[in-house]
Amino acid sequence: MTGLLLVTAVEAEAEAVRAGLGGRLTVTAVGVGPAAAAAGTARLLTQAEAGGRPYQGVIFLGIGGGFAGRVEIGGTAIATRSVAADLGAESPDGFLPIDDLGFGTAVAEADPGLLAALPQAVAGTILTVSTVTGTAASTEALATRFPDAVAEGMEGYGVACAAAGLPFAEVRTISNVIGPRDRSSWRIPAALSALTDVGKTLGLA
């Protein structure tokens, strides 16, 4: 893969991907949360454009939570679409996504060409949230609203917005099961190791 901007949220994720890339591509940490990730990605894209070396696509890579029964801890999830799950409004009848309000869309579709070039993994919707899910009730609500969702993170939709029409994809390796918050059950080393494996695939493509 050439001409791609590879971004993560934090440096530990970037280091894990670099370990697999073997120096063939670069990867940059752009910040945690949709706003910081969007701003960091936009800055890198603008700098590349100004330097006469525009990127041809953007891939976000990071660790995240996985929905039980849909993807395993240490496994890899690839987004068919990245959805801002909490972008909308509350109502007496339940959550109203921004799409229903007529103010745009909370959905960023992944580029089919990039998806075809990524390693085989569990594919489905990856949710972008500003508050990580940490209760059984909120987990059930999200799983019901998004029956095809496989994972959640905090940056994918923001990075997709910054990509502004460029081919985009999101990859998450799973450190924990989404549900009641239990930090002791998280397996971050396993998720980072899986990111390195993804990097090896990208470095060979």
CATH code for position 19: 3.40.50.1580
Give the separation between CA 129 and CA 15, rounded to whole angstroms: 24
d(CA 78, CA 153): 12
| Count of structural domains within the chain | 1
Query: Assign residue 66 a region: left if phi > 0, alpha if psi is -120 to 50, beta otherwise?
Result: beta
pLDDT along the chain (205 residues), means of 10: 88 96 89 98 96 95 96 96 95 91 94 91 97 94 95 98 95 96 92 96 70
Residue-level pLDDT at 202: 86
What is the reported pLDDT for 22? 84
Quote the pLDDT of residue 24: 79
Tokens of 183: 């930090």
Owning domain of residue 162: 4-204
Task: Give the residue from 175, 68, 180 showing the smallest Cα distance to 133.
Answer: 180
In terms of pTM, does the model score above 0.85? yes
- Cα–Cα distance measured from residue 85 to residue 72, given in angstroms and rounded to the nearest whole number: 21
> Between β-strands 76-84 and 168-177, what pairing exists: parallel, antiparallel or unpaired?
antiparallel
Main-chain phi, psi angles of 77, to 5 degrees: -120, 135
What is the structure's pLDDT at 186? 93
For position 80, what pLDDT does the model report? 97
